[in-house]
C-alpha cells in the first residue's frame, strides 16, 4: 500500500511542476515591410531558482532563411511566487514573403521545452507608378577640362624632369672626374737622393734643435733608413753592434769605421747624456754624408705614378653621389604620384 502512495505522490508533483512551467512565443507585429523590424519574444514562466537556457543567435544570424536577428535582450518579472523571463529578438527581412518561424528549443531546469510556431509576413513597399513615373537613365556626362585640377600635376611633372636633369648632370660630372685623369710620369727620389735631402734639411735646421739628443736621433734615423734600403738590412730594428757587424764585407773598412764613430757618439748622447760641440755635430753630419756618397748606386729611372685624390675631392665625390641618389629616389616617388593622379583625372 505504501508503494502505491509514493507513486501517486510523485505523479501529482510532476503534474504540478509541469503546470508551473510555461513556454510561449509571439511577435509584436506579424506584418512588416521589407527592411522593417519585428520583435520576436520567447516567454518562460517557471519557479524561482530554475535554470533557463534560451536559443542564442549571433548578430545578423538567420533565425529563418532570409530573416535576420539584429539584437537580443531579456527582462524578468515576478508572477505568482514564480518568475516570468522573456527573451526578445529583433528581426528584419529583405524578401517579400510569408514565413513561419519554427518552434524554438528552451531548456528549463534540465528539461527541453518547445515553443509554438509563429507566422510572420514580410510585405513589399507599394510603388505608385502613376505619380512616380520611372525616369530614363542619364547619358554619360563629359567632365569639362579644369586647369585647377591639372595645373598641380603638370607642375609636379616639370619638377620631376628638373630633378632627373640635375641627377643626370651630377652623374656626368662624376663620370668625367673619374675618367678625366691619365697616369703621369713623376720623378721618384732614390734612397740616395732621399737621404741627401733629409741630411740637407737637418743641416739647414740645425740651430732649431734645443737638445742634441733630438739632433743625433734624427741623423741616425736617416742613416739607418738609408742602410736598410741600400744594403737590404733591417737597420731600424737592429742595435749599433748588429749593424756594424752586418756592414763588414758590404762596404770599405774605412766606411765602417766612420759609421762606428758616428753610432758610438750618437749612443753616448742619447743614452749617457754626453754632449758634443757644434763642430762635432757638423763633423758627424759630414761623415754620414760622405758615407752616403761613397756607397751611392745608379739612380732609378722615372716611373708611372697614379694620381691620388685628396681628402676634399673624395669627400666631394661622396656628397655628390649621395645627392644624386636622393634626387633619383625623390624623382621616382613623385613620378609614381603624378602617374596615379593622371590616371584618377582621366578615369
Q: What is the pLDDT of residues 114-157, one digit of tens each?
A: 888 989 888 887 766 666 666 777 676 676 777 788 888 899 89
Residue 18: the pLDDT is: 47
Contacts of 185 (CB under 8 A, 6+ apart): 302, 303, 304, 305
One digit per residue, pLDDT tens: the chain, 347 residues?
566 554 555 454 444 444 478 889 999 888 888 888 889 998 999 888 888 888 888 766 888 888 888 888 888 888 877 888 899 988 888 888 888 889 888 998 888 888 889 898 888 877 666 666 667 776 766 767 777 888 888 998 999 999 999 988 988 888 876 655 455 555 567 778 888 888 889 888 888 888 888 888 898 898 889 888 888 888 888 888 888 888 887 888 888 888 888 888 888 888 888 888 888 888 888 888 888 888 887 655 444 444 555 567 778 888 888 888 999 999 999 999 989 988 888 77
Listed by start position, the domains of the chain span 21-123, 145-181+309-347, 191-294
Residue pointed to by grid coordinates 752586418: 246
Residue pointed to by grid coordinates 757638423: 282
Residue 131: the pLDDT is: 67
Residue 128: the pLDDT is: 65
Residue 133: the pLDDT is: 66
Residue 333: the pLDDT is: 92
Contacts of 165 (CB under 8 A, 6+ apart): none
Cell of 111: 528539461
Element (H, E) at 52: strand 52-53
Is the Cβ–Cβ distance between 284 and 206 less than 8 Å? Answer: no
pTM of the complete model? 0.37
Q: Under CATH, which architecture does the 21-123 domain have? A: Sandwich (2.60)
Q: Sort strands 67-79 and 82-93 into parallel, antiparallel or unpaired.
A: antiparallel
Residue 199: the pLDDT is: 87
Cα–Cα distance for residue pair 80/71, rounded to 1 Å: 30
Residue 17: the pLDDT is: 47
Amino acid at each position: 500500500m505504501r508503494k502505491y502512495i509514493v507513486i501517486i505522490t510523485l505523479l501529482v508533483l510532476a503534474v504540478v511542476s509541469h503546470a508551473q512551467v510555461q513556454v510561449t512565443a509571439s511577435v509584436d507585429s506579424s506584418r512588416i515591410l521589407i527592411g522593417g523590424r519585428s520583435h520576436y519574444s520567447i516567454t518562460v514562466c517557471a519557479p524561482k531558482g530554475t535554470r533557463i537556457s534560451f536559443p542564442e543567435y549571433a548578430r545578423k544570424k538567420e533565425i529563418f532563411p532570409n530573416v535576420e536577428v539584429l539584437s537580443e535582450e531579456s527582462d524578468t518579472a515576478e508572477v505568482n511566487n514564480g518568475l516570468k523571463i522573456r527573451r526578445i529578438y529583433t528581426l528584419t527581412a529583405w524578401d517579400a514573403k510569408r514565413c513561419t518561424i519554427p518552434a524554438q528549443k528552451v531548456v528549463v531546469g534540465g528539461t527541453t521545452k518547445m515553443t509554438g510556431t509563429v507566422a510572420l509576413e514580410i510585405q513589399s513597399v507599394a510603388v505608385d507608378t502613376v505619380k512616380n513615373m520611372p525616369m530614363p537613365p542619364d547619358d554619360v556626362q563629359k567632365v569639362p577640362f579644369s586647369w585647377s585640377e591639372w595645373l598641380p600635376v603638370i607642375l609636379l611633372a616639370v619638377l620631376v624632369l628638373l630633378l632627373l636633369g640635375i641627377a643626370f648632370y651630377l652623374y656626368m660630372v662624376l663620370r668625367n672626374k673619374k675618367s678625366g685623369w691619365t697616369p703621369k710620369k713623376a720623378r721618384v727620389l732614390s734612397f740616395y737622393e732621399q737621404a741627401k735631402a733629409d741630411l740637407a734639411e737637418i743641416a739647414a735646421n740645425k740651430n732649431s734643435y734645443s737638445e742634441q739628443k733630438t739632433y743625433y736621433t734624427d741623423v741616425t734615423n736617416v742613416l739607418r733608413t738609408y742602410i736598410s734600403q741600400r744594403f737590404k738590412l733591417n737597420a731600424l730594428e737592429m742595435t749599433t753592434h748588429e749593424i756594424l757587424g752586418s756592414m763588414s764585407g758590404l762596404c770599405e773598412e774605412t766606411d765602417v769605421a766612420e759609421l762606428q764613430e758616428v753610432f758610438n757618439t750618437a749612443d753616448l748622447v742619447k743614452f749617457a747624456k754626453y754632449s758634443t760641440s757644434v763642430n762635432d755635430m757638423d763633423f758627424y753630419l759630414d761623415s754620414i754624408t760622405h758615407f752616403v756618397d761613397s756607397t751611392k748606386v745608379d739612380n732609378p729611372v722615372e716611373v708611372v705614378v697614379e694620381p691620388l685624390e685628396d681628402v676634399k675631392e673624395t669627400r666631394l665625390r661622396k656628397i655628390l653621389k649621395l645627392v644624386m641618389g636622393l634626387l633619383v629616389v625623390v624623382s621616382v616617388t613623385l613620378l609614381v604620384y603624378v602617374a596615379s593622379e593622371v590616371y584618377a583625372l582621366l578615369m
